[in-house]
Structures are given as C-alpha cells and as structure tokens.
C-alpha cells in the first residue's frame, strides 16, 4: 500500500494504468478478507459450549526463566477460574516444549504454576515436545489416546482470545469436539498478534 501510494503521488503514468487497477483490486480483496477473518477471530473466541468437557488443554506461550509470561499467565488463570467455577475434576493437559535458550519447557512451567495454585500433580498431564499450535493439540491428542479410547472427546482449550478460532479449527480437524476458554490478551501485543493470526489462519485454511 505504501508503494502504491508513492507511485500515485510521483508517477503520473501509474495513475489509471492497468497495474494501478490490479493493485487496487488486490488491496480491496486483502482488506475484505482481513475484516472477515478478524470477525471470525472475535466471534470464535466467545461462542462456546463448555458443557460436559472431558479434558482441558492449556496451550503454550512464552516463559521467563521458570515463570509464565503475562500472555501465558492469562491462559493459566482463565483455566483455573473455569476449573473452580465448574467443579471440573478431570485431567488438565499443559502443552509446550522447550524453546531455544530456555532451561525449562513451557509445560513444566505451567505445571509448576498450577501446583502452586493448589492443583494436584496427578491431575496434570504434560506435553513437552510441541513447538506450534498444531503440535500442541496433535501431541495432546496422542497423550489422550493412550488413556482414553473414546471417539468425539470434548476438549476445552485455554488460550488468548485472538488464538482460539484457529486452535478450535485445528482441534476439530483432529477429531475433537472443541470449546474455548478465552483469556485476555496483553494490550501491547494485540496489533502484532491479530495481524500474525490473520496470516496463520489463511495458511491453515489453504494447507489444512
């Protein structure tokens, strides 16, 4: 869009040319698709049926030493609130491997946080290999299948609101019934994460 504007301002030959018309069409298509995807992101976070949940999945995010980042803390606190309010008594699966230059896995840090808030270690299952949203859910599914052979298992996914539409889309494709536990997103990362999520959803839709 910046190049488009500069060409319109300084290159008379560009105005009204086939190239300008093509660029105008592409920009309009991108803007319309962005609005549509953002609408799905917003509604997908808060339209949920959380009755009769079999498992809770808490998806990984950044950590600071052995502590959750603010983004991850919001996810954990949202899951804790749901567990307490709904009297949920099944397993919680914490998802996330160890990043570069990290001493601990995200799953370990999440487990520690839950235990510090009064949860039994026996009710926490750790998935410590994943490095992406898809792997979070796929490897959690592998863990569930070891202990539970049922079909149509229902999971509640705890993640930040911008992330839940895609997370539920992936979970449904992997055979789960998925509901969301939307956590708030720190204000300073909202623009970056929503733009990044737009491209991630387009990629997920195209490549499945």
Q: Give the range of the structural domain holding residue 179, as residue numbers without chain letter.
A: 50-207
pLDDT for residue 108 is more than 90:
yes
Same domain, residue pair 75 and 105: yes
Same domain, residue pair 29 and 81: no
- Residue 154's pLDDT band, with cuts at 50, 70 and 90, is very high
pLDDT tens figures, 157-204: 999 999 999 999 999 999 999 999 999 998 888 989 999 999 999 888
Same domain, residue pair 28 and 65: no
Here the CATH number for the domain that contains residue 186 is: 3.40.50.620
Same domain, residue pair 128 and 201: yes
In this prediction, residue 166 carries a pLDDT of 94
Same domain, residue pair 135 and 164: yes
**Residue range 12-20: average pLDDT?**
83
- Residue 23's pLDDT band, with cuts at 50, 70 and 90, is confident
- Residue 133's pLDDT band, with cuts at 50, 70 and 90, is very high
Same domain, residue pair 35 and 56: no
Same domain, residue pair 200 and 98: yes
In this prediction, residue 206 carries a pLDDT of 82
> Which of 45, 104, 52, 30 minimizes the C-alpha distance to 78?
45
> Which of 66, 40, 77, 38 minimizes the C-alpha distance to 159?
77
Task: Note the maximum CA span of the chain.
Answer: 71
Same domain, residue pair 76 and 168: yes
User: Helices 190-207 and 18-46, interaxial angle, to 10°?
Assistant: 100
Same domain, residue pair 122 and 188: yes
Same domain, residue pair 122 and 144: yes
Which has the higher per-residue pLDDT, 37 or 2?
Answer: 37
Same domain, residue pair 14 and 113: no
In this prediction, residue 34 carries a pLDDT of 93
Same domain, residue pair 66 and 128: yes
Mark residue 202 as left, alpha or beta (left: phi above 0; alpha: psi -120 to 50; beta: remaining).
alpha
The two structure tokens encoding residue 179: 């509901």
| Under 8 Å between Cβ of 128 and 99 | no
Q: Pick from 26, 44, 62: which residue ends a domain? A: 44
How far does Cα 122 stand from its chain's mean position? 26
In this prediction, residue 11 carries a pLDDT of 81
Which has the higher per-residue pLDDT, 105 or 3?
Answer: 105
Q: Alpha helix locations (H) across 47-189? A: 70-86, 106-116, 133-147, 164-173
In this prediction, residue 188 carries a pLDDT of 87
pLDDT tens figures, 27-85: 899 999 999 999 999 888 888 888 899 999 999 998 998 999 999 999 999 999 999 99
In this prediction, residue 205 carries a pLDDT of 81
**Considering its fold, how many domains does the chain have in total?**
2
**Residue range 128-135: average pLDDT?**
94
User: Helices 164-173 and 190-207, interaxial angle, to 10°?
Assistant: 20
In this prediction, residue 138 carries a pLDDT of 96
In this prediction, residue 12 carries a pLDDT of 77
């Amino acid at each position: 869009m910046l190049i488009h504007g500069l060409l319109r301002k300084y290159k008379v030959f560009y105005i009204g040319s086939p190239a300008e018309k093509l660029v105008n069409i592409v920009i309009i298509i991108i803007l319309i698709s962005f609005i549509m995807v953002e609408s799905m992101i917003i509604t997908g976070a808060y339209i949920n049926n959380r009755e009769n949940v079999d498992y809770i999945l808490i998806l990984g995010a950044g950590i600071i030493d052995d502590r959750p980042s603010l983004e991850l803390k919001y996810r954990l606190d949202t899951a804790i609130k749901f567990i307490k309010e709904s009297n949920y008594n099944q397993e919680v699966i914490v998802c996330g491997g160890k990043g570069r230059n990290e001493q601990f896995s995200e799953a370990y840090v999440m487990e520690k946080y839950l235990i510090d808030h009064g949860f039994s270690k026996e009710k926490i299952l750790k998935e410590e290999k994943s490095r992406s949203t898809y792997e979070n859910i796929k490897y959690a599914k592998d863990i569930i299948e070891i202990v539970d052979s049922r079909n149509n298992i229902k999971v509640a996914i705890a993640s930040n609101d911008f992330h839940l539409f895609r997370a539920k889309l992936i979970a449904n494709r992997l055979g789960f019934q998925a509901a969301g536990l939307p956590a708030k997103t720190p204000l300073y990362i909202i623009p970056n994460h929503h733009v990044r999520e737009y491209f991630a959803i387009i990629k997920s839709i195209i490549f499945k």
